Amino acid sequence: MEQLEKLVRDPLSLIERFHTEVQKMFEERESIQDLEERINRLREEIFQEGENQVARLFKEVDAVEQELLRSLNEIRELRKRAQVVRALVASLFRGREAEIV
């Protein structure tokens, strides 16, 4: 779960990165045209990184979901077996109660 939480936070950290990088660009006092070009390149780069991170997140979430579904099915099977054992034990002891009385 910690890995999933990290994968959720990673794309969000890109927003902070974009903000920081743009702030640095403005401090460098470049021409408006150069600044616009750099910001657009950075925007595209961060967009691609975000897309890749989100894709990894969905891949990991799907894997975890499948594992949880398998575990849930195993638990359901164990519950069914426990019910059969309970019924068997109950029937064995009910039969003995009738013999004792």
Neighbours of 57 (CB within 10 A): 18
pLDDT digit string (tens) for 22-74?
A: 888 888 888 889 889 999 999 999 999 999 999 999 999 999 999 999 999 99
> DSSP labels for the chain?
-HHHHHHHHHHHHHHHHHHHHHHHHHHTT--HHHHHHHHHHHHHHHHHHHHHHHHHHHHHHHHHHHHHHHHHHHHHHHHHHHHHHHHHHHHHHHHHHHHH-
Write down the domain spans for the chain: 2-100
Residue 79 has pLDDT above 80, yes or no: yes
Residue 100 pLDDT:
57
Q: Which residue has the higher pLDDT, 55 or 3?
A: 55
